[in-house]
Amino acid sequence: MTMPPQLKELVEDFAEVGPKDRLQLLLELSQELPDLPERYADAAETMEQVHECQSPLFLAVEVDPGPERHVHLFFSAPLEAPTTRGFASIMHTGLDGEPAADVLAVPDDFYTDLGLAQAVSPLRLRGMVAMLARIKKQVRTATA
């Protein structure tokens, strides 16, 4: 399974702890989601909404010009939605700054390796799947 090093490290972190601690790890990650830069201050106007998420989540993907085409991710999720913010933080930590080709190579079902199925509902996991799909779609569009 091909994964950028930071994402692989996160998957290993989740694998090393029990189901109860995975939820705690997700909640801790939710607090690490970076604030949006000023240009995305009005998230609803400037970013794509991921409707599959149970809380309002917006994302934007920027891809650098040049041969590596590094990907930069931006997320907006309410503070009172820690699960959604945690998923966004996993995406940000694991994929931000990585080459476009590496982001596109991430398996669509990598989230199963996080072992979160015991900690959160399938409906919530669907939101994470949708986030990755939207990120990949925006990367493909930007690199076409």
- Asked: is 5-35+44-143 a CATH 3.30.590.10 domain? The reply is no
Which conformational region is residue 50 in: left (phi greater than 0), alpha (psi within -120 to 50 degrees), or beta? beta
Q: How far apart are CA 104 and CA 102, in angstroms?
A: 5
In this prediction, residue 93 carries a pLDDT of 96
Location of structure tokens 């933080």 = 89
- Contact by Cβ (8 Å): 76, 39: no
pLDDT at 61: 97
Residue 39 CB neighbour total at 10 angstroms: 10
Locate the DSSP E strands across the chain: 48-49, 58-63, 71-76
Distance CA 88, CA 108 (A): 15
N- to C-terminal Cα separation, the chain: 25
pLDDT tens digits in sequence order for the chain, 144 residues long: 679 999 999 999 999 998 889 999 999 999 999 999 999 988 778 899 999 988 899 999 999 998 889 999 999 999 999 999 999 999 999 999 999 999 999 999 898 888 888 778 878 888 899 999 999 999 999 998
Farthest CA pair distance, the chain: 43
Nearest to 71 by CA among 4, 14, 117, 17: 4
SS3 9: helix
Q: How many residues does the chain have?
A: 144
Q: What is the pLDDT of residue 82?
A: 92
How many C-alpha atoms does 2 have within 13 Å on its Cβ side?
A: 8
Report pTM.
Answer: 0.93
Query: Which pLDDT score, from 0 to 100, does residue 1 have?
Result: 61
Listed by start position, the domains of the chain span: 5-35+44-143
